[in-house]
Amino acid sequence: KSNFVNSIDVNVLGIADGYFRDLDNRLVLASLETLQSLLDTKDVTYFAIQLSDPSKTDELLRDFEIFAHEKQVDLKATKWQDHPYGDLYHRTNVYLIYVRNFIATILLILSGLSVLAAFIKLVDERTREIGTTRAIGFHDSYIVMSFAAEAAMIALIATIVGTTTSLFASAIINYVAVPYYGVGLTEPIHFRVAIDLGVYGSTALCFIAISVIGAVVAMRSKIASSVVHNLTDAGA
C-alpha cells in the first residue's frame, strides 16, 4: 500500500455511463492490473460477481462463508443490495413498495365500497322480486344464496375482463418503454409494468369475496321487509 497515485498511459476504448451523476464523475472501468498500477497497490477492495442463475445467490453465499471459515481467510461475501453502494437502490425500492401498497389499499377500499353500494342498489331495485319469491315458499337462505351466486358470477366476469384489459395495457406500456428521467440520473430509466399473476389472482379472489359479502349483507338488511313491501304493492 502507498498514498501515491501513478501517472500511466492508457488506450481509451470508450465511455461508460454510471447512471448516477455523482458516480459518473469518478467512474473508471479498466483492467485490475491497470488500476493497481495507477493506485500503486497490489490489494483488491472487493470483487463483483454476476451469477448466471441469481436464484442461487443465497446458496453461493452460504458455501463461500463455509469455505472462508475452513481456510481461515478473512473474506466476506454479501449481496450487492446489502452493500453500502446498494443503499440507494434499497431505500428507493422500499419507498416504492410502500407507495405501491398504499395505492393498492386505497383502490381496494374504494372498489369494495363501490361494489357494496352497487349491490345494495341492486337489492333495492329487486325488492318486489324478493318478496314474491318468499311469498311462493322459497326459504330466505335459498334467496340469499341465489343472490350470492349471482354476485360471484358477476364479479368473476368483471375480474376476467379487468385482468385481460390490464394485461393488454401492461404489454403495450412495456413495449412502448416510456422513459423516466429521474433526479440525478444521467440516462432515462424505461418505465415497465411488472406482471405478477399471483397478485392478479389474489386481487380477483378478493373482489369476488367482497361482491359476495356485499350481496349477502344487502340481502339480509332487506329480506325482512320484502314480503310486506310486495303485498302492499299487490294490494294497491
pLDDT in tens, the chain (236 residues): 555 566 777 788 777 776 666 777 777 888 888 888 888 888 888 888 888 888 888 888 888 888 888 888 888 888 877 777 677 777 878 888 899 889 888 888 887 788 778 877 877 777 777 777 877 877 878 888 888 888 888 888 988 898 899 889 888 988 888 887 766 666 777 778 878 888 888 888 888 888 888 888 877 777 666 555 555 554 44
Q: Name 190's bridge partners.
A: 179
Predicted pLDDT at 234: 43
Which residue type does 129 have? Answer: E
Phi, psi of 103 (to 5 degrees): -65, -40
Phi, psi of 94 (to 5 degrees): -65, -40
**In terms of Cα–Cα distance, which of 136, 163, 167, 133 is closest to 150?**
133
Predicted pLDDT at 182: 66
Alpha carbons 227 and 4: distance in angstroms, whole number = 95
Predicted pLDDT at 148: 85
Predicted pLDDT at 227: 55
CA angle 69, 75, 78 (to 5 degrees): 105
Predicted pLDDT at 236: 42
**In terms of Cα–Cα distance, which of 43, 50, 13 is closest to 28?**
13
All three cell numbers of 138, joined, read: 322459497
Q: How far is Cα of residue 158 from the mean position of the Cα atoms in its chain?
A: 21
All three cell numbers of 173, joined, read: 406500456
Task: Please write down the HEC assignment for all residues of 162-184.
Answer: HHHHHHHHHHHHHHHCEEECCCC
Predicted pLDDT at 151: 84
Predicted pLDDT at 235: 42
Predicted pLDDT at 43: 83
Alpha carbons 80 and 71: distance in angstroms, whole number = 24
In the chain, what are the domain boundaries? Answer: 21-82, 84-235
**In terms of Cα–Cα distance, which of 144, 157, 152 is closest to 208?**
152
- Greatest CA separation found in the chain? 105
